[in-house]
């Protein structure tokens, strides 16, 4: 008991010192913190930035010569190669001060407190998900902005405290951030209950990373790299983005299942994919328990391996259709106006376990819904029919989710928070 009180006392003393330090700081830094899971698992950083909102904003500032008097501080993981990152920015931005600070992943207490110290020197902190950084970010000296990491929740993230899957969202309160960036009025209403912030703290400005999705910049190199993963000519690339299952987290490899969810003849599926020139590229969720997924796959199905060159946004642009289930990435994909297939092989169990923001969820699913191996196989061969059939519904749902369908979200956010100091 006494040791615990001593530790709490030391922690309080350090926090007090840092808070006092913040009072007299020159505030000469802008801090950018990417999404923890994506940075650790998907290797998102200043070189691989298009799928993260905070990194996209940092790149916008650097590429356009904004805020030259500010030090650009970017949070990185314990595994990031600092020498590589530093060489990159020195070559690309020789006249800018860019610093990388370890904050994400398995870092030491020394690195964590070093990052907290940097926060006291910051005028603005931009993150891709809410981090509890009190008392450093919420004060009269700094503005803390959560740029968001999804357009709008697809599944339910709100539970009672008695629920075994309770998300612990009551840990967040108005002291944790000043503003939360959203994509539409509907998105604001759906996110508000989980973030516990007053309505005035939500700003409908759009997600930075979606500027790339809508832009004319096409990842030809990524497309070519994907096509070379199979021995046959590829006509269609289907991006598969399954979400994690709470009820799979405690399972082991002994309880394995097939990647697509069904017990099916993979050899026959592989033949159909080859004969029709279809390639399925699976981008697993960072929280997915990979141990329960069988890795014996036909040639036409490959699992994306994280790298420093590209991520989910490039995969979306390079693909011709999306195969998904209960992930909010579906909403992002609507900006591309490409066909979607919903793989609802365990929808009843998922509905009872996590639930959805809409009931029935099918009301916002602008694409073919499949619940069997046979239906899935047929849907993969009817992508063009899907594209035409659900065109109007895709447009309708997109307009619900996104107020803006342009390439100016990053510009709007910059103008709202940083234009006066640029």
pLDDT tens-digit map of 237-292? 999 999 988 888 887 777 788 889 999 899 999 999 999 999 999 999 888 888 88
The string of pLDDT tens digits covering residues 4-14 is: 565 666 566 66
Mean pLDDT of 63-69: 96
Task: Give percent above pLDDT 70 in the chain.
Answer: 88
Nearest to 169, CA basis, from 145, 203, 197:
197
Contact 72, 33 (CB under 8 A): no
Per-residue pLDDT band at 134 (split at 50, 70, 90): low
Cα angle at 326 between 268 and 369, to 5 degrees? 50
SS3 316: helix
pLDDT of residue 255: 72
The string of pLDDT tens digits covering residues 289-330 is: 888 888 789 999 999 999 999 999 999 999 999 999 999 999
The dihedrals phi and psi of 366, each to the nearest 5 degrees, come to -90, 70
What's the CA dihedral at 391, 392, 394, 395 to 10 degrees?
120
pLDDT of residue 177: 86
SS3 280: strand
SS3 383: helix
Structure tokens at 68: 């030259």
Per-residue pLDDT band at 15 (split at 50, 70, 90): low
Mean pLDDT of 195-209: 92
pLDDT at residue 31 greater than cutoff 90: yes
What's the CA dihedral at 188, 190, 191, 197 to 10 degrees?
70
Residue 367, CA atoms < 13 Å, CB-side half-sphere:
27
pLDDT of residue 10: 55
pLDDT of residue 165: 53
The dihedrals phi and psi of 357, each to the nearest 5 degrees, come to -80, -20
Q: What is the CA radius of gyration of the chain?
A: 22
Per-residue pLDDT band at 154 (split at 50, 70, 90): very high
pLDDT at residue 24 greater than cutoff 70: no
Global pTM reads: 0.92
Per-residue pLDDT band at 20 (split at 50, 70, 90): low
Q: What is the mean pLDDT of the chain?
A: 90
The string of DSSP codes covering 219-276 is -HHHHHHHHTTSSS--SEEEEEEPPP-GGGTT--GGG-B-TTSS---HHHHHHHHHHT
pLDDT of residue 173: 64
């Amino acid at each position: 008991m006494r040791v615990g009180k001593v530790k709490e006392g030391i922690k309080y003393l350090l926090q007090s010192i840092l808070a006092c330090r913040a009072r007299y700081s020159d505030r000469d830094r802008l801090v950018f913190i990417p999404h923890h899971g994506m940075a650790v698992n998907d290797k998102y950083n200043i070189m691989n930035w298009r799928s993260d909102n905070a990194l996209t904003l940092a790149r916008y500032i650097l590429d356009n010569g904004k805020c030259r008097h500010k030090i650009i501080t970017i949070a990185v993981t314990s595994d990031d190669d600092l020498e590589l990152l530093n060489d990159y920015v020195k070559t690309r931005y020789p006249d800018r001060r860019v610093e990388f600070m370890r904050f994400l992943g398995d870092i030491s207490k020394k690195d964590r407190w070093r990052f907290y110290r940097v926060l006291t020197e910051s005028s603005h902190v931009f993150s891709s998900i809410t981090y509890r950084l009190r008392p450093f970010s919420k004060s009269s000296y700094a503005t803390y902005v959560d740029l968001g990491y999804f357009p709008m929740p697809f599944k339910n993230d709100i539970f009672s405290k008695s629920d075994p899957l309770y998300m612990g969202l009551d840990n967040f309160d108005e002291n944790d951030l000043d503003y939360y960036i959203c994509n539409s009025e509907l998105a604001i209403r759906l996110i508000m209950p989980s973030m516990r912030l007053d309505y005035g703290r939500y700003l409908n400005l759009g997600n930075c990373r979606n500027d790339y999705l809508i832009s004319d910049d096409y990842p030809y190199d990524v497309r070519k790299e994907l096509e070379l993963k199979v021995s046959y000519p590829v006509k269609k690339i289907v991006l598969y983005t399954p979400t994690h299952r709470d009820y799979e987290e405690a399972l082991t490899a002994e309880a394995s299942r097939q990647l697509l969810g069904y017990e099916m003849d993979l050899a026959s599926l592989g033949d159909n994919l080859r004969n029709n020139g279809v390639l399925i590229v699976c981008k697993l969720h960072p929280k997915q328990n990979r141990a329960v997924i069988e890795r014996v796959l036909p040639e036409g199905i490959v699992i994306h391996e994280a790298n420093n060159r590209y991520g989910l946004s490039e995969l979306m642009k390079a693909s011709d259709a999306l195969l998904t289930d209960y992930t909010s990435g579906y909403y992002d994909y609507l900006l591309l106006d490409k066909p979607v297939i919903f793989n609802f092989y365990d929808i009843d169990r998922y509905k009872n376990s996590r639930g959805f923001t809409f009931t029935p969820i099918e009301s916002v699913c602008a694409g073919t819904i499949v619940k069997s191996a046979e239906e899935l196989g047929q849907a993969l061969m009817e992508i063009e029919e899907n594209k035409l059939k659900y065109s109007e519904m895709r447009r309708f749902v997109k307009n619900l989710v996104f107020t803006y369908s342009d390439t100016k979200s990053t510009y709007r956010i910059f103008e709202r928070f940083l234009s006066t100091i640029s």
